[in-house]
Amino acid sequence: MAAPKSKPAVECRADRLFASANVVNPVEAALAVFFNNRLKLCDRVCVALSGGGDSVVLLHALHRLLNSRRPASSSSNILLSAIHVHHGISPNADAWADFCSSICRTLGVPLHIERVDVPRASGEGLEGAARRLRHAVFAAVDADWLALAHHQDDQAETVLLNLLRGAGIAGAAGMLAERPQSGGPHLVRPLLEVSRSAIEAYAAEHGLRWIEDESNRETHFRRNFLRHEVVPLMEAKFPGAKRSLARAASHFAEGAELLDELAAEDCAAVAMPSGRIGLAGFNALSPARARNLLRFEWLAVGFRAPDTRWIEEARRQLATVSGRSEICVSTADGALHAYRGELYVVGHVSDSDLSDLRWNGEYALPWAGGQVRFESVIGEGIARSHLLAGEVWLKRRCGGERLQADARRPRRTLRNLLQESAIPPWERARLPLLWCGEQLVWVGRVGVDASFVCPAGEPGILPVWEAGNPD
């Protein structure tokens, strides 16, 4: 799936489609209100379709709005599609994918099924790993808008769960109704103000079928415990509690927005020439502003809101670190490092992302959550003729490797070269190494071995490592 492609600008908004519709159903009404000032004619809307009741209702209601209620005079279309992420965790995963295919065939909506391999021992938990891979798929969807079916009850549960985790104002803001994705579609949740009961009523009115994820009833999961055990008790004692929690999320979101503006100002004030936060400037901030800046940086790279205890522990450790010292404070999503007076936020990399890969002339190979590109060049990089001398493999460091980075200097240990290049320790473990037979040819962030350098005027291959994890 590629990033959204450019298309002719059409300034006509989707309110032309919805203005004449006498929308009385709360689900369709919420969708009309949400999209009226966002969609342009010819926009592409993709629905994340799990096969559960919420996403089935979202797809069905959008399909009705964009087709049944569209004026015949409209010459342009909103293009609707769906995507189903096949996690392969449940034994019923194949049946769920088939069910989604059946619904989309009935509605005449194109469906893409994306299979992901969820690691069982990634350190982030099965749910966390599945969420990370699912959102990576979402970020690559070929559409302008990606619609998720989270609703008011989901929002209330999220706010409550985050408050219990101690996640602070950003976590208490719950799920955002709209969030841009770098290079991908806008992620939107148009049903956040619609209750679960209204969605169930819509499904009953239209005779919709859906699938039930058997794990949704397992109360050892914290969210399920809140949903089935805690929230019903709250509603019994405080009628409208879910609605109140969801409404509170919007107030917290306003506060979080103001704190983000302050964090952006602080970030600019303490930034180093590299663009990273300088440790000295960070430690000069008040404790509250330092915590706010850490939270801002953590969320900016797509990690979940960290709890307050983690934020304060990280700030406390950073306050005691000298410019040449190193620290690392981790969560399930990633790690915060201080190295040579600068702060780094780095995502975790699983062993499966560092597996040996044979290069057979491909333009790119995946590596450490990113990729290594192999660009055809003239007079630079690796001499193409040298790479034909044996099998070419991309591998991780094992220790003891040696490389001649400069023809005027002797071959040296890779460890010394990395230290001299000021490559952070955590990055050294994920560097890609290119081998031709038994010889080390190239190391990411370091360069080509002198004996493999391409002579002037000859065809060469230039490896370029694009790291996928934020740093």
Predicted local confidence at residue 133, as pLDDT: 87
Plot region of 302 (φ>0 → left; ψ -120 to 50 → alpha; else → beta): left
> Token pair for residue 343?
């702060």
Report how many helices (DSSP H) and strands (DSSP E) the chain contains, helices first: 17, 20
- Measured CA to CA, the distance from residue 314 to residue 328 in angstroms comes to 9
Predicted local confidence at residue 147, as pLDDT: 96
Contact 53, 66 (CB under 8 A): no
Predicted local confidence at residue 429, as pLDDT: 86
Tell me the torsion sign for CA atoms 226, 228, 230, 236.
Answer: positive
At residue 362, the 3 state secondary structure works out as: coil
> Token pair for residue 459?
């065809």
Question: pTM of the full predicted structure?
Answer: 0.67
Predicted local confidence at residue 468, as pLDDT: 67
Classify domain 15-245 by CATH number.
Answer: 3.40.50.620
Predicted local confidence at residue 74, as pLDDT: 47
Q: Note down pLDDT in tens along the chain; length 471 residues.
A: 433 344 443 445 555 555 544 556 899 999 999 998 888 878 999 999 999 999 999 999 999 988 865 554 443 578 999 999 998 888 889 999 999 999 999 999 999 999 988 877 666 677 777 888 898 899 899 999 999 999 999 999 999 998 888 777 878 889 989 988 777 899 999 999 999 999 999 999 999 999 987 777 777 778 889 988 999 999 999 999 999 999 999 999 999 899 999 999 999 999 999 999 999 999 999 999 999 999 899 888 878 778 888 999 999 999 988 767 788 898 888 899 999 899 999 888 877 788 899 999 999 999 988 899 999 999 999 999 988 878 999 999 998 999 998 888 889 999 999 988 888 888 888 999 999 999 999 999 999 999 999 999 999 999 999 886 545
Predicted local confidence at residue 392, as pLDDT: 94
Predicted local confidence at residue 69, as pLDDT: 52
Domain ranges across the chain: 15-245, 271-347, 351-466
Predicted local confidence at residue 155, as pLDDT: 94
CA 87 to chain centre: 16
CA 413 to chain centre: 36
Predicted local confidence at residue 407, as pLDDT: 85
> Token pair for residue 454?
């391409």
Contact 190, 147 (CB under 8 A): yes
Predicted local confidence at residue 23, as pLDDT: 57
- Measured CA to CA, the distance from residue 303 to residue 308 in angstroms comes to 15
Predicted local confidence at residue 264, as pLDDT: 96
CA distances from 20 to 38, 60, 191, 410 (A): 17, 19, 21, 78
